[in-house]
Chain A
């Protein structure tokens, strides 16, 4: 890991980059439902596509805490850009780092850092969302290859990805594979008209009798769900937690700015107690979300096994707070907040999706309940 001062400097660079290169364009990308290729090149040049990768693979070597802080800076300006870093750098990249063979790391990670290959995580299917174990996409071994058949849906950056980390079901259990876009039988179909993450090149990805070399299997046969997907989703949740915090923080700053500028009844609206109540709530909620994200980051740094549940709690809470604070920011803006003139309209839409991706809030509540029923149970008859 690089020194703390250097990491702080990198996060500051990310803030400046986001303000200059993302903020002026985010609304336009949202409207056009596309992210320009030359912008992804710029992100890669700064190494922001893969902030946690080791230097030898072209990354910034940020520890989890600073990785989260960098994601916050990017996510404040554009959720779709934050999604790119999440799926490309974390869900796919960190999975290859964790479970890949040396050959797989050498083959893909450098090209992912440089942006030559964009990664997408292909787990969900038309009939398998929260119930991810029920995926229908199949694999069959044929000599030194696996033949994949099936369709994946809601794949962020699926439209432009060069490499898919995908999961398929077979005789030896769910298994993870790395599939290159140019393999015969890979087809993509963009999904447009989304509520949010509109510039994230969402797509359906079909694998029709795709022959995948056995050296592209990630992990071992049958370990695709419990290990590869579980750790990928854990990385994804961590990024989404910071993405939620980013939305809440941006919405809070927007509501404060507007409340200080806008006058009604002959005075600035921040002087009205009901407006002050909303701002006070937003401050407390955003700071609480930040505390959870930072705690998860610190625990991930020391590889504490409980970091997984802390990450789930941070994602659950930060995404919820993002929705609440963004809704309140729209409320303070009044009719103006319901138009694309102000970013709060986009933040409000983006926040909803955060409660669905990488584990819905309800799935996370289940996981936290399992944890709580153990962790907070006192043996004996204590009343």
Chain B
């Protein structure tokens, strides 16, 4: 699975809404649309750190980084590139 597929699987496993009610797109702003509950942001951080071996620090807490699957994937790729470089 690529980064987006892994993110999608995780998000779908943790959505606070049922799959019959919504169709998750890679560009959907998941927080703004209310797809997830108040625990999710922290679960997502833990997942990204464990799954993709990147360290998320205070400076990374730009809400735009976690807005959608597209933005998360771009953020992870950038972090990995920075950490490897």
For chain B, give the interface size range: 20 to 34
The answer on a CB contact under 8 Å between B39 and A219 is: no
User: In the complex, are the beta carbons of A305 and B63 less than 8 A apart?
Assistant: no
A231 to B57, CA, bound (A): 13
Q: Name the A residues within 8 Å of B59 (CB-CB).
A: 220
Asked if A309 is an interface residue, CB under 8 A from chain B, the answer is yes
Evaluate whether A230 and B62 lie within 8 angstroms (CB atoms) in the complex, with A304-B50, A367-B37 already known. no
Cross-chain contact B42 with A374 (CB below 8 angstroms): no
B2 at interface by CB-CB < 8 Å: no
Q: Which residue of B lies closest to A233 (CB)?
A: B38
Query: Mostly helix, strand, loop or mixed at chain B's interface?
Result: helix
Bits for A220-243, please: 1 = Cβ < 8 Å to B, else 0: 101101110011001000000000
Interface residues of A, count at CB 8 A: 30
Give Cα A101 to B50, complex, Å: 22
For the complex, what is the distance from the CA of A309 to the CA of B13, rounded to whole Å? 13
Q: Are B43 and A305 in contact (CB under 8 A)?
A: yes
Residues of B within 8 A of A (CB): 13-16, 18, 31, 37-39, 41-47, 49-50, 58-59, 61-63
Residues of B within 8 Å of A230, CB to CB, are 38-39, 41-42
- Separation of A371 and B63 alpha carbons in the complex (Å): 23
Which B residues touch A371, using CB under 8 A? Answer: 14
CA distance A371 to B47 in the complex (A): 15
Report the minimum CB–CB distance from B75 to chain A (whole Å).
14
Q: Could you mark each residue 139-159 of chain A with 1 if its beta carbon is under 8 Å from any beta carbon of chain B, else 0?
A: 000000000000000000000
Contact A305 B50 (CB under 8 A): yes
A-side contacts of B45, CB under 8 Å: 227
- How far is it, in angstroms, between the C-alpha of A51 and the C-alpha of B38 when the chains are bound? 27
* A99 and B46 form a contact (CB under 8 A): no
Contact with B along A360-383 (1 / 0, CB 8 A): 000000110011011100000000
**Which residues of B sit under 8 angstroms from A173, Cβ to Cβ?**
63
Residue of A nearest to B48 (CB): A305
